[in-house]
A and B are shown apart, each in its own frame.
Chain A
Amino acid sequence: MTIGVGLLLATFLLSVASLGLFLWSMSRGLFGRGEAAGRVIFEPREVGLVEEPAGPVGDEDALQGVMNRTGHTGEFSVLTPDQASERARLDASSRMPVLAALTSAVIWLVLASAFGLLASLKLHLPDWLVEHPWLTFGRIRPAHLNAVGYGWCSFAGLGVSLWMYPRLLKTPLVGGRIATAGIALWFVGVSAGTWAVLTGHSAGLEWLEFPWQADVPLFLGGTLVGVSLLLTLQRRTVPHLYVSVWYISAGLVWLPILLAVAKWPGLHRGVPQAAMNWWYGHNVLGLWFTPLGLAAIYYFIPKTIGKPIHSYNLSLIGFWTLAFFYSQVGGHHLIGGPVPSWLVTLSIVQSVMMVIPVVAVGINQHRTMWGHFAALRHSPTLRFVVTGGMLYTLASVQGSLQSLRVVNATTHFTHFTVAHAHLGLYGFFSLVMFGAMYFVMPRVLDWEWPSARMISLHFWLVTGGFAIYFTGLSIGGWLQGLAMLDASRPFMDSVRITIPYLVSRSVGGALMTLGHLVFALHFALMLGRRGDRRGAALLRRPSPEPVGVAAGATA
């Protein structure tokens, strides 16, 4: 036991010391220039100008009005026609791979929703659709998870990242065809893997159900996208790497490493394999989805409202602490299990330390938006991204608490964990991606979204549905945990008590699915260039007249 404690203490001190060293070395020469780095997503005199292609033109004007009233930039804001057409050139450079990725994302969103709703219904209708093996709960559920993770979320994250890269580096995307080939390979991988799960060829580990044959195309596809981004990175014309570039670049390094270690043949078995399983399971969230989601938040909030991020330096601290602490939290999935206790304790400690990066992101985001919340009314992008950002904070704080033994005792093995997982991957990541896609697609297609109403409907269906989903399942999971802990109650009590909440989860999930169908239909209409191209000339309007003067005068 003392060896364990000593080892733990040593690891902890070592990690804190090396983290300090990291922050020091990474920030050398970076701090102090933070303000300039934060402005790299704007043209020299653009700060103060909003950009919101998602809504009708009137909305963008209203948004600018809100920012003129509330934004204290004190600057003349101008986007010259030259700058506007250069940006159009950058946007055009990534069109093909972005379109491929985002279309794939929508396809997998619909598939994943169908699997998810089906799995949810089956939990309270256990004799429904039982004749076919591929429809059994134990196959539909992992098909849902993988379709969400490697389908919808990965495609959306890759597509939005590919689109942001040229803008972040002020360089046309290099190797667009390589990236498109990568997206195609990824599609092959996720299709083959989901097929394998449904036909009973699962590899058996949660988050790693795909047989290795399906992971190879994923690995290669991700690498190809990474190659394109690396080539673009080398040609960049900006002096500063914006924090979103950090997140995306690191994520694209981390994912292949995770996959390669996890799938290395003959390496893992028994209890160590369980440790590896949750090292992977949590890192794919923390080092793949979270970086891509945060990269989008750090770009789209400042860009939409025309105001640089509150503190660039804070965002860098957030980046390194996230990477450092998040990568070691996986063991908290094995609390009470037959694993060395130092492993679990280490993960609990790092889970609690996660408060640091989360607070860094939360403060930064909140201080950027502070005073401008009226802007949410006029920007679909902001509505989704800001809501997603808030749920990120909530999900992370909840995750830290849930790792504590006293809380975990109740929530472990229950639906509470499932609700938490959805708060992260849906409440945070998916909402952010919806918002980003509403911004990106008009730029990609040079076309406005056909219907502002459908965007609104999408928003309220998915947020309302998710509120029902999350609240019900969290309560049900907690009651399930209490029933299981009480030895005087039969196990069946813990099953019966969840039924009404499982039903409410299906109701919430059905609303979410409906929202996704609205979104998918809207996306298809957009692809088919339905609606009119009204205001197209204004889509990238240069601003000959300086705006924001009033704000400057009153600041």
Chain B
Amino acid sequence: MSGEREVSVFRLWLGAVAIIALATTLLVVLPTLSLRDVPPPDGLAPYTADQLRGRQVYIANGCVYCHSQQPRDPSVGPDQQRGWGRPSVPGDYHYDEPHLLGTMRTGPDLLNIAVRQPSRDWHLGHLYQPRAYLPGSIMPAYPFLFERRRGTTPQPGEVVVALPPGVAPAGTRVVATPDALALVDYLLSLDRSYPVTRAETPR
């Protein structure tokens, strides 16, 4: 009896491993092989150290859970009409590790946010209190990326956030932390508006 028994468990595991090997080949190995050597588009620069630090802030605070970074083809949705940019191509993500394509659009797509909102002041203020800029927004406020200090006179080395009146208590100034500045640096690097050739689009 034992001989037959062993065969049956062995077959079970063999089958289980074979199935996952096939799935891994199709969904992981083949995409990696076919896209690994895609060169970065000419218009795309590597991230700077500050931008990479900002990218870590973006990851640490889970921006990806509400914002995608993958404008799609007009046949799939009106992403382009909303000003989110041309359909993205694999090369656009050449320097992205980890990837931040996202699966939710509780907020808008951000792959080209720097094109729509190139102002550092806007980004800093919007991170401090989104509803001061977009009434009805449900984006969390991020006061922990800023320091509130007494007095309105900027001290040397401080980046004071230019906020609409009434957002910060009177007689105080809101100073951006290095994390906030790095995050905005990263957001301002999100510009994939350079042209790509047809050959660079995925097939």
- Where the two chains meet, the residues of A that have a C-beta atom closer than 8 Å to any C-beta of B are 1, 3-4, 11, 15, 18, 22, 25-26, 29-30, 122-124, 126-127, 130-133, 136-139, 141-142, 200-206, 233, 236, 239, 241, 246, 249-250, 253-254, 257-258, 261, 267-279, 283, 287, 320, 323-324, 327-328, 330-331, 333-343, 346-347, 409, 412-415, 417-418, 484-487, 491-492, 494-496, 499, 502
Taking the closest CB of chain A, its distance from the CB of B50, in whole angstroms, is 18
18 contacts between A and B (CB under 8 A): A15-B22, A22-B19, A141-B65, A206-B103, A241-B8, A241-B12, A258-B20, A268-B32, A269-B98, A271-B31, A275-B32, A276-B27, A327-B19, A327-B20, A338-B89, A340-B34, A346-B26, A412-B103
Q: Which of the residues B24, B95, B203 comes within 8 Å of A3, measured between beta carbons?
A: B203
**Provided the pairs A126-B139, A130-B143, A274-B99 are in contact, do residues A246 and B12 lie with their beta carbons within 8 angstroms?**
yes
Give the nearest-CB partner of B6 in chain A: A234
In Å, the complex CA distance between A272 and B26 comes to 11
Query: Does B101 lie within 8 Å of A337, measured CB to CB?
Result: yes
Query: Does A340 lie within 8 Å of B138, measured CB to CB?
Result: no
**Provided the pairs A241-B9, A484-B77, A491-B82 are in contact, do residues A271 and B203 lie with their beta carbons within 8 angstroms?**
no
| Interface residue ranges of B91-149 to A (CB < 8 Å) | 92-108, 130-131, 134, 136-144
Q: A26-B12, A277-B99, A485-B78 are in contact. List 20 more A-B contacts (CB 8 A).
A: A30-B8, A122-B140, A127-B140, A130-B140, A204-B98, A205-B98, A249-B9, A261-B24, A269-B98, A270-B96, A270-B99, A279-B27, A334-B101, A335-B76, A336-B72, A337-B101, A339-B31, A340-B202, A487-B81, A495-B137
Query: Does A492 lie within 8 Å of B144, measured CB to CB?
Result: no
Taking the closest CB of chain B, its distance from the CB of A329, in whole angstroms, is 9
Q: Which of the residues A124, A336, A492 comes within 8 Å of B73, measured between beta carbons?
A: A336
Taking the closest CB of chain B, its distance from the CB of A145, in whole angstroms, is 9
Contacts of A124 in B (CB 8 A): 138
Taking the closest CB of chain B, its distance from the CB of A510, in whole angstroms, is 19
In Å, the complex CA distance between A277 and B138 comes to 27
Query: Does B141 lie within 8 Å of A130, measured CB to CB?
Result: yes
Q: Which of the residues B1, B102, B138, B144 comes within 8 Å of A130, measured between beta carbons?
A: B144
Contacts of A415 in B (CB 8 A): 106
Binds A, one of B54-62, B151-159, B168-176: B54-62
**Provided the pairs A249-B12, A340-B202, A487-B82 are in contact, do residues A200 and B60 lie with their beta carbons within 8 angstroms?**
yes
Taking the closest CB of chain A, its distance from the CB of B64, in whole angstroms, is 7
Contacts of B26 in A (CB 8 A): 11, 328, 343, 346
Query: Does B87 lie within 8 Å of A338, measured CB to CB?
Result: yes
Q: Would you list the 4 A-B pairs with minimal beta carbon distance, nearest first? A: A138-B62, A200-B60, A327-B23, A487-B78
**Provided the pairs A336-B73, A340-B202 are in contact, do residues A272 and B137 lie with their beta carbons within 8 angstroms?**
no
Residue of B9, B34, B103 with most chain A CB atoms under a 10 A cut-off: B103
Contacts of A320 in B (CB 8 A): 15
**Provided the pairs A200-B61, A413-B68, A417-B103 are in contact, do residues A331 and B27 lie with their beta carbons within 8 angstroms?**
yes
Give the nearest-CB partner of B32 in chain A: A272
- Where the two chains meet, the residues of B that have a C-beta atom closer than 8 Å to any C-beta of A are 1, 4-5, 8-9, 11-13, 15-20, 22-24, 26-28, 30-32, 34-36, 59-66, 68, 70, 72-73, 76-78, 81-82, 87-90, 92-108, 130-131, 134, 136-144, 202-203
Taking the closest CB of chain B, its distance from the CB of A288, in whole angstroms, is 11
Contacts of B68 in A (CB 8 A): 413
Q: Which of the residues B9, B65, B81 comes within 8 Å of A233, measured between beta carbons?
A: B9
In Å, the complex CA distance between A272 and B34 comes to 9
Contacts of A203 in B (CB 8 A): 98
Query: Does B62 lie within 8 Å of A139, measured CB to CB?
Result: yes
Contacts of A496 in B (CB 8 A): 136
Query: Does B142 lie within 8 Å of A130, measured CB to CB?
Result: yes
Taking the closest CB of chain B, its distance from the CB of A399, in whole angstroms, is 15
Query: Does A499 lie within 8 Å of B103, measured CB to CB?
Result: no
Query: Does A272 lie within 8 Å of B140, measured CB to CB?
Result: no
Query: Does B65 lie within 8 Å of A138, measured CB to CB?
Result: yes
Contacts of B36 in A (CB 8 A): 272
In Å, the complex CA distance between A276 and B32 comes to 9
In Å, the complex CA distance between A167 and B81 comes to 61
Taking the closest CB of chain B, its distance from the CB of A29, in whole angstroms, is 8
Contacts of B105 in A (CB 8 A): 413-414, 484, 494
Contacts of A417 in B (CB 8 A): 103-104
In Å, the complex CA distance between A250 and B11 comes to 11
In Å, the complex CA distance between A277 and B88 comes to 18
